[in-house]
A and B are shown apart, each in its own frame.
Chain A
Amino acid sequence: MALLAAVVVAVFLVAPVFIVVPMSFSTAPSLQFPPPGYWLGYYRQYFTDPRWLYPTLNSFVIAAGTMGLTLALAVPAAFALVRHRFRGKTLAYLLLMSPMIIPLVVSALAYYSFLGRLRLTGTHVGVVLAHTALSVPIALLAITATLKGLDPNLERAAMSAGAGPIRAFWWVTFPVLRPGILVGALFAFLHSFDETVVALFIAGRAASTLPKKMFESIRLETDPVISVVSTLLFALVLVGSLIALLARSRGRRAA
């Protein structure tokens, strides 16, 4: 009984794949399913239209920037939170995690007026700053989870054998931590790449991201190219999951 229900729910979860992927090869100019015929025309349209390519490029640039900045902030913070006990830790943790709890619309509104005053709305820098604040908690969760499993005695052993703290970090801590950092980086990248609400408010025209373009396109014209983009995004998630799986299995071997 429970098993049957589980399978039905799983089918419900994957249903969109089976709709959207065939749609991307459809010849229909509107939302018609099953498709009346198949071709690759909308793929050609996506790969030649700057109105789609430019936001795609923006999304990659912004997600990469967000990933880098997020790691620079989250890796040291994860060390402080896992390795140390100190007064004010709960408060620090609450501040770092708050972007995960606060509704995106509220964050988006806050950014809109704040970045507007700094003249950063509609710029790549503005979107990277906004996305980084939202990605820090997600990356932090991934990195602290790995760090909790790392025995500090490994580093002590390296240091008692004559390695300085930096060499101990580079040769002992970092290799063990790498899968956690990789997963944290992946989460930050995908989160920024997917994020819609904040981008809608602050990205403007010049820094318009792919989700913003998709939202506007779905709302205004339901351009069939959306199903092409959706299919490509599925492919991206598949590749991302494979990377995460590989990182996990390599991490398990290393640990």
Chain B
Amino acid sequence: MAGDLAARPPAPAGRLGGPWLLLAPAIVFLALVYAAPLGQVLVLSVTDPAVSLAHYRRVFTTPLYLTVLATTFRTSLVVTLACLALGYPLAYAMARRPGRLAVALLAVVGMSFWTSFLVRTYAWMVILGAKGPVAALAHALGLGRPPQLLFTTFSSTLGMTHILLPYMVMALYAVMKKIDPGHLRAAASLGARPLQGFRHVFLPLSLPGVVNGCLLVFTLCLGFYVTPALIGSPRDMMISQLIAQQVDELLAWGFASALSVVLLAATFAAIAVYTRVAGLDRLWG
């Protein structure tokens, strides 16, 4: 009897309907409400106002737009590296020192993760502003007025790093907490000093987390809008700001759509490089 039950292939929930019946509501909804509008963007990019590839030619030949593309990539790269540099020690401490400290750090990261981008961007506006704590500290130390910090490349990079850091820490922590501490003890018992053990054992084992975190932060940063729009320098625009400006101020649907397709292609390219390195099934861990 028990053997008979275990051998029966369809799971009980299957009898409520086949897999496609269960999937149908979500698939139909996303196809109509999500995929169709995206398809329309694709079409608009080559048909609005006339059928041509002129928008794409304009993106890749106008120096102004090439600068925007370069800024977007450079900023995303800097933010990714900054998140890695800050996130690695934090995730390391969370994974290697279980107990109250790890719980406290995890709570800090979680709180930060769930706090609205806008709130955190606003906080940096206060911190870096002309009447903010940085300026007050500089004044108190007799350093005079600090240089303009807000509305610069520095402020938007700092803000985006702060906002995306929790994503990096989560990705690193997910991999690091699965690393068996026994490996490090084994290395130590074979005579490895702590730093050697870290370099030859822990670091290589944590690399999948590094790759995951970097992909996540990099792709999120490519399309970031809120923070650069609010505290960035008006002179170095990111591509998302350009898209918003083209639609909002100029109603240039065709050109905005072409820019969106370029952004989408860049995002997919990053993911393609990643799947080469790590395999598709790893994408959602």
- Which residues of B in the span 129-170 have a Cβ within 8 Å of any Cβ on A? 129, 131-133, 136, 162, 165-166
- B68 located at the interface, meaning its Cβ lies under 8 Å from any Cβ of chain A in the complex: no
* A residues near B181, Cβ cutoff 8 Å: none
Interface band, chain A:
35 or more
- A66 located at the interface, meaning its Cβ lies under 8 Å from any Cβ of chain B in the complex: no
Judge whether B132 and A33 touch: CB under 8 Å: yes
Q: Quick one: CB contact mask for A82-126 with B, threshold 8 Å, 1 for yes?
A: 011010011010011111011111110111111100000000000
Residues of A within 8 A of B (CB): 2-3, 5-7, 9-10, 12-17, 19-20, 23, 28, 30-34, 72-74, 76-77, 79-81, 83-84, 86, 89-90, 92, 95-99, 101-107, 109-115, 129-130, 132-133, 136, 140-141, 152-153, 155-156, 159-160, 165-166, 168-169, 173, 190, 194, 196-197, 200-201, 211, 214-215, 218-219, 222, 226-227, 230, 233-234, 237-238, 240-241
Quick one: closest B residue to A102, CB to CB? B264
Chain B binding surface SS class = helix
Of B11-19, B50-58, B183-191, B205-213, the one contacting chain A is B11-19
Quick one: closest B residue to A95, CB to CB? B30
* B residues near A99, Cβ cutoff 8 Å: 30, 34
Known contacts A84-B14, A96-B30; A77/B97 CB under 8 A: no
Judge whether A169 and B16 touch: CB under 8 Å: yes
* A residues near B263, Cβ cutoff 8 Å: 103, 105-106
Known contacts A99-B34, A165-B12, A226-B122; A237/B115 CB under 8 A: yes
* A residues near B250, Cβ cutoff 8 Å: none
Judge whether B136 and A211 touch: CB under 8 Å: no
> 7 new A-B pairs (CB below 8 Å) besides A130-B33, A136-B30?
A13-B108, A13-B166, A33-B131, A101-B271, A106-B41, A165-B13, A237-B114
Known contacts A20-B123, A109-B247, A196-B117; A79/B264 CB under 8 A: no
State the CA gap A113–B257 with chains docked (Å): 10
Judge whether B123 and A113 touch: CB under 8 Å: no
Judge whether B115 and A169 touch: CB under 8 Å: no
Judge whether A105 and B240 touch: CB under 8 Å: yes
Q: Quick one: CB contact mask for B91-130 with A, threshold 8 Å, 1 for yes?
A: 0111011000100110111111011111111111111010
The 6 A-B residue pairs with the shortest CB-CB distance, nearest first, are A103-B223, A16-B123, A6-B93, A114-B37, A110-B37, A5-B89
Known contacts A110-B40, A218-B122; A197/B271 CB under 8 A: no
Q: Quick one: CB contact mask for B75-99 with A, threshold 8 Å, 1 for yes?
A: 0000000000011011011101100
Quick one: closest A residue to B198, CB to CB? A2
Judge whether A105 and B114 touch: CB under 8 Å: no
Interface band, chain B:
35 or more
Q: How far is the CB of B249 from chain A (nearest CB, A)?
A: 13
Judge whether B119 and A84 touch: CB under 8 Å: no
* A residues near B230, Cβ cutoff 8 Å: 215, 218-219
Q: How far is the CB of B255 from chain A (nearest CB, A)?
A: 11
Judge whether B14 and A83 touch: CB under 8 Å: yes
Judge whether B27 and A96 touch: CB under 8 Å: yes
Task: Determine which of A3, A14, A20, A80 lies in contact with B112 in the assembled complex, contact meaning CB atoms within 8 Å.
Answer: A14
* B residues near A112, Cβ cutoff 8 Å: 247
- B69 located at the interface, meaning its Cβ lies under 8 Å from any Cβ of chain A in the complex: no
State the CA gap A90–B35 with chains docked (Å): 16
Judge whether A133 and B30 touch: CB under 8 Å: yes
* A residues near B73, Cβ cutoff 8 Å: none
Quick one: closest A residue to B264, CB to CB? A106
Quick one: closest A residue to B150, CB to CB? A31
Judge whether B23 and A80 touch: CB under 8 Å: yes
Known contacts A31-B132, A72-B25; A113/B44 CB under 8 A: yes
Cβ contacts A to B, 16 pairs, < 8 Å:
A5-B93, A6-B93, A6-B105, A17-B115, A20-B122, A31-B126, A31-B129, A79-B13, A86-B20, A102-B267, A105-B263, A113-B37, A132-B29, A140-B26, A155-B11, A215-B230
